[in-house]
Every structure is written in C-alpha cells, then in structure tokens.
Structure 1
Amino acid sequence: MSASPADALCLGIDTGGTYTDAVLWSEAAGIVAKAKSLTTRHDLAEGIAGAADAVLTRAGVPHGAIRLVSMSTTLATNALVEGQGGRVGLVMVGFGPEDLGRDGLSGALGTDPVIFCPGGHDVHGNAAELSLEALEAALPELEKSVTGVAVAAYFAVRNPAHEIAVRDLVRARTRLPVTCSHELTSKLGGPRRALTTLLNARLISMIDRLIDATEDFLRRRGIEAPLMVVRGDGALVTAAFARTRPIETILSGPAASLVGARHLTGLDDAVVSDIGGTTTDIAVLDRGQLRLDPEGATVGGMRTMVEAVAMRTFGLGGDSEVTLRDRSLSTRVELGPRRLVPLSLAAMHHAGTIDKALSRQLLSPTASRLDGRFAMRTGMPEGAASGLSVTESRLYMQIGDVPEALDRLLVSTSQIATLNRLVARGLVHIAGFTPSDAAHVLGRQDNWNPAVARLGAQLMARRRNAMGQPAAETAEAFSELVLAAVTRRSAEMMFETVFAADGLEEDAPASHALVQRALDRNGGMARFSISLDRPVIGLGASAHLHYASLPPLIGNACEIAPDADVANALGAVVGQVRVSAEARVSQPEPGVYRINAGEWLEDFGTEEEAMAAAEQAARAMASELAGRAGTDHARIEVSRDIRDAVIEGERSLVEAFIVATAAGRPRVAS
C-alpha cells in the first residue's frame, strides 16, 4: 500500500433508493466520467454493476487502473424514514418496562421482542448482580424469529462487562449478529443508547447485502482496490468497519452530497438540498465547514446518538407517494413520506399487467382509493419473512413477483394495515402514482413509460373532493399540481431547516399561517415576505426539474452544478478517514482516580497518573481505530474537557474527558 498520487483513479459509487450513481475521479483530472443505473433492491449487484461498468466503459480505462473504491448510500436513511428493517430482539440489562416509554424507544421497537434482565452498573462502573435466565429461556425462539440482537445495559458506557456477557451468550448459543450499545457510543442516556443499538441491529442485514454486492462486483471485474464507505459525518471507513456499525451510515448519502456540493461549487455559505427518489436531505454550509449535530442525527423522527452532519431528512422525492387530502373542499396534493415504485417504472417490466388494470379501473363508473395501486414482492430471501403473523403470512403468500392490483388483491379494509406492515418489513413494494409519473405525463422526463403514467394521472384526476368536484380536469392539469406541490414543499422544508439552525424549530414551523402567507406572496392588509440569506445548491438528478421555480419562493438564487446529479458519488471519493476515541477519568472516592476507556477500567492513585494514562489509552484506541477504518498515516489530535469543583477551598475532580481524533486519506492499492 502507498499514498495516493494526484493521478490515481478512484471509483465513487452511491446507491440510492431509485438510482445507483458512479463517477471516476482523480485529484489531477477531476471527474473523468459518470453514469447512472436503476437501483435493484432485490439484487443490489445489478444496479452497482450497471453504473460502474458504464462509467468504466465511458472512461475507456482498464479495471486494474482503479486504485480506490468508495461508496455512499441512502439505503439506511431510507429504511429508517420508511420504517423498514429486519426484526430485532432487544435485550435490556438493568432497565425496566417503563424505560421503553422514553426517547421514542417503544415506537421504534414496535412489535419486536424485548427481554429484561437484572444487572447493570452505577455511574462509577460498579456492578449490580447479573442474571441472564430470561435471555437463556428466550434464545431458542429468538433464533427462529429475529435477524439480529441489540444489547443495552444500564451505565454500560461506564462498564461494558454485562453487555459483553450477553453478547458472548448469544454468540455461543445462536448464529445471530449482536450489537452492543457501548460499541456505538460513549454517551449517557440509556433508552436513547438502546434506540441507537436497536436501529443498528435492524440495519445490519441491509448493509451486509450492499457491501457483499459491491465486493462481488469488484471481484468479478478483477478490481483489487480497497473498498471504503461514507459515514454520516462525511468521513470514510473500510467496508469491514461499516459492517459492524451500519447505523453510522445513516445520512451517509446526504453527508457525501454535502462534501460533493462544496467540491463542485466552491461556495462556503449555502443551503444544500439533495432531492432523490425517496428523500430530500437539506443542510447548511457555514464558512465552508460541515456542521455536525451535537445531539445526534435525527432520521424518520427518531433521535439517535450517531454523530452525523447536521442535516434534516424529509420523506419527499421523485418517487414519493401522491395522495389527496380527504374531505378537502379543494384539491390538496399530499406527498410522501413513503416511497412507491412509479407506475411508469413498474410498466417497464410489467407493461401488459399494469396498463390493463389501469384501463379496467378507468372504465368503472366510480373512483376507488385503491385505483392505480399494485403490490409485488421485493425479492428478499425467504428467511426475511420470519416472524410474520398468520394474517400477514396469508396475504404475503398471495403476492407474487408480478404486480397485483390492490382492488383485486384486498378483500377488506383491514387488509390495508396488514399490507402496510409487509411494506414496512421490506418484503413488499407498492406501485402507484408519483411525481416521476407526473413528469412523464408532461414530457419533462422520458426514461420510463409515459403512456402508463398518463393512465395513472387520469385515475387520480377523477377523484372527488368534498364539493364533489374532480381533482383536476385533465391528466396534464393534475400532473402540474403534483410538480408544483413538490417545489412548494421543497421551499417549506428549506425554511424549516434554517429555522432550526436559527434556534426557532419549536416556534416557527413552515406550516405556520404567517409563513404560508409569505410564501403565497399574495398578501392582505398585513403583508409578509420571507427569504433565505444565502443561495441554494440543488443536487440530484431531478433538481433541475423541481427547483426551476424555486427562486421566487426562497427569495434567493438556486445553483445547480453541471455534475449535481452525481454529487453523492463524488463526495464518496474526495473525503478522508476520520475516527475518534474517548477515555474518561472520574473520582469515585477520595484518592482514587478511575479510567474508563473502551472495555478497560483501572484505578490510579493520582490525577496526573490517571490523566497521562487516559491520554495514552485514547491515542492508542484512535490509532487502532484509524487502522481498522482504512488509513495508515493518521494525524492524531487530543482534546481535554476537565470538569472540577472547589469545596471549602479544596479542588476536587468531577470528571475529565480525553478525546483523540485521528484523520488521514484512505490507503490505496499499489
């Protein structure tokens, strides 16, 4: 291995919810070539191979010339926004059922099983008695019904011994992957640690599939270059590192897009908005720096302990579900947050099935809420369907690989909720009308089937509002309403993001009547105006389509770079490895200074000895992490946060945090 020369060719890949992008880049030449391919969720290797092969062909370079491969992804982000992921068993040591009600843990857990075991530690790392009888009794059933196990113990960040005991027991008795909370964060707050760990375990199989698909593609093409993955803070880590901590890849794609946006435009101050197929990710660039969220990333309404770019993710994209607000006196288009397979895309593989069903529904004298909707399997392995209820299993067996019209599939209203649970498990796709279909109807997009898109628009247009009037007179008129709604909602989301950055999140949502009046620009006796203080950088393949009418709404310019459609893939290769490790020194009793560094606890007789040993431990952990994360030449910086108190003239150490941060460019193939 050696340091990367300026002309080393790097392959960047971004696997999004709809498209997989690829770029070939070198420091000396910039972007050499770029390409896109549809993301194939049932077999991610197809989409990866399609994009990567295309970019290599366009560049005309041999596969052996690739020195580094780096990837970003929105799959983890999309899964959390859409409520998807594997079924997980949560083991909580030292906690009780009442703790599930904190920090959104109960909502995130859903119907997944939870086991409570006595044990845990106090704030100084002293242990309570541990009993794993409940876990031992539950393991046979867990092995059959879940895809992974998450472990959170009381004050595990002060002493992880009980989490390690649980981990060792699960690994000895089952083949299930195990995630422990102390491996992911050193922050206090047990229920939120448990939430973060639960989500990590839920995402392991998804990220494993992505990395396996990428490694298989590289192997088949003879590309012997290191594979890196972008974390949510924009840093790069090795694929092996990412496999164990997939939760850190939430906001991976958005973070890469922010890095790519700065690289493409050179703007230091901007609002960066990346609209994809499933989500829109918005962040603020300040003086050229990526701002990290000190409270942890929030995705899908869940606040995690993952250090990530301060970015807000909204369920809005080209493939967002289009619905009409019930009982509205006028046509009100609502979008997302769920992603649908666009009708025009589904028809590319099932044209006869889709258009026949849509034509049949148009002949019916009455409109149905199920019109224009289809269900089909995602292609997940059969094992992914473990743990289904009887009603879920019965409906799942009726759904195949060919889209089935919902008005023929579902025989009762209650089955809609059952179907939605199958979608949330990632087992079933719903196809329906989306903004991408609207763009096809209006001739602003032409890569899929516009005729089927128009049939879908006709079905939506004839739906009635509370006044008995059709939603729109024509398919084209309805499609215009949908695209206008995307632009308007995009502007609202941008203002919500800057309101939060200004500290106004609770007091000034974009839905506030005064904000809405300002956006409408039609005033009254009291006139309002609203604008951003900086331009917008629009990213994503459809940014030019949805952001063309944005400037009047935001009161500023919107810049769309020539390569904005592959900013994520570019950001994946221009970043660097960055990891940190923390050691803590506390004083559990006078004259005793205790170090807690990872899984190491030790007492010292003086503060000076403890602080020196803690810094040495933090440096060693950061260096080891940097090597695992993919760099051989890390620069290490150490910071200290010492908290003390003076009581009756005597200074006493409360606690000290020593953080070592290691950074460097990733290693590349010789």
Structure 2
Amino acid sequence: MSASDDDVLSLGIDTGGTYTDAVLWSQKRGIVAKAKSLTTRHDLAEGIAGAADAVLQEAQVEPASIKLVSMSTTLATNALVEGQGGRVALVMIGFERPDLARDGLAAALGTDPVVFCPGGHDVHGNEMELALEGLETALPELEKTVTGVAVAAYFAVRNPAHEIAARDLIRSRTRLPVTCSHELTSKLGGPRRALTTLLNARLISMIERLIDATQGFLVRRKIEAPLMVVRGDGALVTAEFARMRPIETILSGPAASLVGARHLTGLDNAVVSDIGGTTTDIAVLDQGRLRLDPEGAMVGGMRTMVEAVAMRTFGLGGDSEVVLRDHVLETRIELGPRRLAPLSMVGVHYKDMMEKVLSRQLTNPTSSRLDGRFVMRTGIPESAAYGLSRTETRLYAEIDESPAALDRLLVSTSQIATLNRLVARGLVHIVGFTPSDAAHVLGKQDNWHAPTARLGAQLMARRRNAMGEMAAPTAEAFSELVLCAVTRRSAEMVFDTAFAADGLDEGVVMHPLVQKALERRASNRTHKGRSNTLNEHRNNPKTDSTFRSDALGGKTGMAQLSMSLDRSVIGLGASAHLHYANLPALIGNACLIAPDADVANALGAVVGQVSMSAQARVSQPEVGIYRLNIAERLEDFETEEEAMAVAEQAARAMAAELAERAGADQARIEVHFDIRDAEISDERTLVEAFITATATGRPRVAS
C-alpha cells in the first residue's frame, strides 16, 4: 500500500524511559497503525526500530511513503528527575561563589567543577574588564574529566560578548561542546540562567545518542524525510536544532501527550495525567489551549528558564522503586522517584540466574534490604565514565551487562553510596521490585516474566516492621497494596496540580484535612464514581478490597470532609487503564481513558506545529539614547521611533530565520509589543520595551 500525494503519511515516535512508541498517522485517516517496543538504553536504535518496523509491517506501507518523522521523548525529563546526566564544567563570568547558593544552582552542580572569571556587563550592556586566564589554565584538565561546558556571564542577555569570548577560547583549545546562556534565554536572573545552561550541557550527549539512533534507523530503512523533535512547549523543531538546545526537550513527552490528548478527545477543559514508566506528567487544559508556565519549566525540583507547558512532573511510574519504610511501628510503602529496571522485565533474559538468587534469599532466616536487588550496566559508551573516583572505578569494574545480586556484590555500607553515585551518572541500573512487577504478580500485566516478580514480592512481603509484623501475608496481598498506593498517590498528584492551578501554596495536598477527604473518598469507593472503568471494578470484590480505608491510612474520623475536581481527568499511558481504574472515586469526577491513550505522545509528535519566537529590547540608558538589544546585536539610536521600528524588523527577521532553521513551512508571523514607560515631571519617559515576534507553521515534509 502507498499513500497518495494528498494523503501524507507521518511517523511519530516517542522514546520513553521504558517503552518506545510509534504511530503512523495520516491527516485524512488518522492513526493508521501503532506499536510499542522496549526502550533499549544501551542502543536506542533497537527500541526505535522495533516500534517503527512494527507499524510499517501492520500498515503494509513502504518506508519511502513516509514524508515526515517526528519524535518526542521523556529521556531528558527522566534524567533530571533521577539526577542523571553527563559531568560538565560551569564557567561563571562576573559572578562570585555566593551566587551558587541561589535558585538551586549549587545543588544542581553537585561535585561538577566550576570556574570563576572576572568580567560581565551592567544592565545596559556596558562591559567590565574580562580575564579568562583562570579558564585557560583549567581547560587541559577539564577536557579529560567532563563531557561539556556551560558558560554564564553577568548580564549576558544585555551583551553576550564575554560568553562568546569564553566559548571561542574553549572551542579553540578543546573538542568539548559548549553552551552559552544567552543562546537559551533572554530573561534576567543570572543564577537560574546558569542553572538552565548547566542542565543543557549535561543533556547534550543524551539527546545526541537519541537523534543519532533515530537518524541511523531512517537511513537503514531508506526513509528520506525531515526529522523533527517536540519541544517542551509542544512545538516542533528540527533534530539539528534540538542537538544544540536539548534543555528545550525537557517535558517534550508530556507536551506531546497534551497535544495528543486534545486531538484524541476534543475536550477543551480537563486535567491530563500521563503515567509512564518513570514519571507521571500532569497538566491542565483550559478552553482548548496549552498553558505555558510563566516562571519556566520545573523538573526534578529545579526551576529552569525553559518555556514549556505548565506541566507538573512527579517521580511516579510503572517502574518506580518500591521502598518499604519498616523501621517504624507501622510499615509504609513509598514509591519513586527513582526508576528501577523491573525484576519481571530483566527476568525475561536472566530468569534462571535471578530465580536461583531470589530463592536463595527466601531461604535465609532473616531478610535484608538488599534482598531482591540486582545491578547491571546500562550499556552507554565507556567515555561517559570519565571522572570517576577510585572507589567508583573499582565498583564499576565489578559490574557488567548481566545482573549481579547486591547482597553478594556490596561488602560494606559505604558502597551503597558509591553505587548510588554510579546510578546518578546513568552508568548502571538497579533492578528491583516495581508496580509493574506487582501487576505481573496479580495477572494484570503479562508481557514479562511473572515468576521472577512473584519471588520479589515474597521477599518484600516478609519484611517486618518494628512491631515484628510482616508487610503483607502473601505476595498477592503485598502487590495489591503497591497498586493501591499508586492509585492513591496518583489522586494526590492530580489534586496537587489543581491546587497549584488555583494559586494555592506548594504541598497543600499533604495537609491533614486534604488527606482526610481523600481517605473518606477511598472508604466510600463502592458508593461513588463516574466511569465505565470504575463500574467494571465494582463487580470485582477482590479489587474493591484493595481500597479499604485502613489500607490507605486509617479511619476517616468524625469530621466528614469532601472535595472533588470540577473537570474530568484524561488518563494517558500504557498502564493508565490499570492504575486509573479506581481514580474516579478519589477525585469525584470521571477519568476517561482515551482511545489510543497508550500512544498519545507519539501522536502528539506528528500533529503539532513549528513555533519560534524572537525578542528585541529597547531601553534608554541615558537621555537621548535608545538602545536596541537582540541576541548578539547592540545598537544605539537617536529616536525612540527609529529604535522601535528597527527592533520590530529585527525581531521579525530573527523569528523567521529561527522558524526556517526549526523546519517550518511558510510560517506566519505575529508581533506583540510590551512598552513600559513612566511620567516624570509631566513628561513621558521610556523605561524599556519588549518586541516579541512569533513565527508559526506546519513542518516541511519531503517532496
């Protein structure tokens, strides 16, 4: 079968932490075919090929018929949530060490090196003396120990000259990729701009592996089509554009899912909750529009300057780490934020060895927190291991591509911290019990190796708290509690997002009154709820028993509190039907599992548009001088009218150029003026003006 000229076929791909999804989409016929494949982190091309080849096979389409390929990804989001990424150097020009304490910059930097250099500019773009000798001295050592460099200079958005000088020096002396802060944002706020730049540099190698893997697949299949990537605001850009600005792909997958949810359901007002393997991403649809976060994307507890959909990302997914807090009187189940490789998934390839280890651990008279835990290399290139300490290098050498039992590998408590640092670098995976394993134990998921999951559940269930009580009587009972905890936590996250949208303070959802209201809804689950999914579960007494009030935190008390959402939830993700089946009773409204909800991200990747903005600023540093600042251009004019006219022209030209580079076809341009002035002695004075041009259009397709 082949597509007609007026029925362009597009291939959408979403590379998530666990699965890679693919859809074949036609503007006339909608979704023609869809498929999933496991994300293969050691070689991303395998997972991409598995999903894409499956849709081509199902649709019986020649690869040459595909005229556009677009992908979204949660890899960058997951990396920031899990604290992973390459080791990079931060160059701070005109800043001082106390500046690291602002906006979470020090926490994000961790043990990565930082170089301070004199220099920078003032608010009007006038320069201070630049000295790069310290950077020049540090470069030989940095080239051996980091994978990239981030450069942030004081008021670089007013004049980027010193960032450019540092960038040119680094490129002339090393082969390291360099990111400058002025390339990513025009907003003030030096430390947060430095944080954004640091994270961008940290993600470059990761996004390059993804793009290279996708392009390699396209070449092998002889697909000669443009490759686009979804940004965090839902817009599309070319793959080459995304290579240099990977930070803009954080929340790429969630943004694509929001676009896909709107396309699938047609709902204008809803809460969209997308549960994946590593994270749950939740956003609000208002009057059919995607809302951008005016403060910048918040991921992994870090506030960036990336323009993205107002999305809240939580470390909860099907592959979240299940942790038992059993040193207290009452055992508690905690989920995430770290992703583990599920026992059942790894057991597909190593079932004999893993079953032998897990059975051995079950015969031990006492349980250990290392029971049911393995570690294996992720398979990323050896170059990513640069900069490891001696103890990290020694432990890393003892780990290979097959799972090793932690109770035999680790011989001291201090090695746990060393192992966690290797995990944070993305060099190794921890293998352990997850909600996906719980679903396998209960027969609600069957794509991996259930017996391995059941052994893991038995090990968790027999753990005892300070009262000597077991966590659960059976593997099945423990797995029920885990799935119950996922649904309860999902309800908390939905309300947390709603409270934030209503302008309430962070953490309101954990207030005792809110928790009491949730517990009341949980205890009344059999009496309330509005969805077909919930009705199916009402008829299953075993499922109902998992939502006992006592399992969720105790009796609701005398005060009968209630709360509910004012709109439906759209549930997305492959496991949405499982984890959201009982959600309506907790939120007081319907939860719609959209058709093709399992591939909404991949669909959103191909139905979006290219959108690029450029902003010019006009200020008055002194009477009679009107200064234009846009990107690397700084120019003075004698009249406000001339400065404003040139600013609009420059913003239009830059937006058009960016849209062209980003892959737009015949972009339309809109201009917005934000003029701020003041009355001084009955005379108007310009304070500053921002002229923003936005170019929007559908991506170019292959002829």
TM-score, length of structure 2 as denominator length? 0.94
Deviation of 1:378 after TM superposition, in Å, equals: 0.5
Partner residue, 1:461 = 461
Deviation of 1:568 after TM superposition, in Å, equals: 0.1
Deviation of 1:5 after TM superposition, in Å, equals: 6.6
Partner residue, 1:509 = 508
Q: Does 1:552 align with 2:585?
A: yes
Partner residue, 1:599 = 632
Kept in 2: contact 1:577–1:630 (CA 8 A): yes
Partner residue, 1:318 = 318
Say which SS state the counterpart of residue 84 (structure 2) adopts.
Answer: coil
Partner residue, 1:119 = 119
CA distance in 2, matches of 1:538, 1:70: 23
Q: State the identity %.
A: 81
Kept in 2: contact 1:92–1:114 (CA 8 A): yes
Partner residue, 1:490 = 490
Partner residue, 1:623 = 656
Partner residue, 2:187 = 187
Kept in 2: contact 1:48–1:214 (CA 8 A): yes
Partner residue, 1:110 = 110
Partner residue, 1:264 = 264
Cα shift readout 1:610-666 (whole Å, capped 9, x = no counterpart): 000000000010010000000130000001101111111111111000000000000
Kept in 2: contact 1:6–1:27 (CA 8 A): no
Q: Does 1:652 align with 2:685?
A: yes
Letter in 1 for 2:673: R
Deviation of 1:330 after TM superposition, in Å, equals: 2.4
1:435-450 superposed matches below 5 A:
435-450=435-450
Kept in 2: contact 1:86–1:203 (CA 8 A): yes
| Alignment root-mean-square deviation, CA | 0.9
Partner residue, 2:333 = 333
Partner residue, 2:27 = 27
CA distance in 2, matches of 1:280, 1:261: 15
Partner residue, 1:212 = 212
CA distance in 1, matches of 2:643, 2:179: 30
Cα shift readout 1:479-530 (whole Å, capped 9, x = no counterpart): 0000000000000000000000000133x52111111100111543321001
Letter in 2 for 1:366: T
Partner residue, 1:303 = 303
CA distance in 2, matches of 1:563, 1:665: 23
1:560-599 superposed matches below 5 A:
560-599=593-632
Deviation of 1:188 after TM superposition, in Å, equals: 0.1
Say which SS state the counterpart of residue 631 (structure 1) adopts.
Answer: coil
1:186-585 superposed matches below 5 A:
186-506=186-506, 509-521=508-520, 523-585=556-618
TM-score, length of structure 1 as denominator length? 0.99
CA distance in 2, matches of 1:410, 1:324: 20
* Count of residues paired in the alignment: 666
CA distance in 1, matches of 2:348, 2:559: 51
Cα shift readout 1:414-433 (whole Å, capped 9, x = no counterpart): 11010000000000000000
Kept in 2: contact 1:196–1:305 (CA 8 A): yes
Say which SS state the counterpart of residue 255 (structure 2) adopts.
Answer: helix
Deviation of 1:6 after TM superposition, in Å, equals: 5.2
CA distance in 2, matches of 1:40, 1:641: 47
CA distance in 1, matches of 2:683, 2:6: 57
Say which SS state the counterpart of residue 510 (structure 1) adopts.
Answer: helix
CA distance in 1, matches of 2:63, 2:286: 39
Kept in 1: contact 2:326–2:463 (CA 8 A): no
Deviation of 1:562 after TM superposition, in Å, equals: 2.0
CA distance in 2, matches of 1:401, 1:11: 32
CA distance in 2, matches of 1:371, 1:73: 33
Kept in 2: contact 1:76–1:247 (CA 8 A): yes
CA distance in 2, matches of 1:89, 1:79: 18
CA distance in 2, matches of 1:237, 1:547: 33
Letter in 2 for 1:109: L
In the alignment, structure 1 segments of 5+ residues that lack a partner are none
CA distance in 1, matches of 2:346, 2:509: 34
Letter in 1 for 2:515: Q
CA distance in 1, matches of 2:286, 2:189: 30
Say which SS state the counterpart of residue 509 (structure 2) adopts.
Answer: coil
Say which SS state the counterpart of residue 283 (structure 2) adopts.
Answer: strand
Say which SS state the counterpart of residue 67 (structure 2) adopts.
Answer: strand
Kept in 2: contact 1:37–1:50 (CA 8 A): yes
Kept in 1: contact 2:326–2:464 (CA 8 A): no
Letter in 2 for 1:612: A
Cα shift readout 1:557-597 (whole Å, capped 9, x = no counterpart): 00001200000000000000000000000101100000001
Deviates most, 326-335 or 344-353: 326-335
Kept in 2: contact 1:6–1:26 (CA 8 A): no
Structure 1 stretches (4+) deviating beyond 3 angstroms? none
Kept in 1: contact 2:149–2:176 (CA 8 A): yes
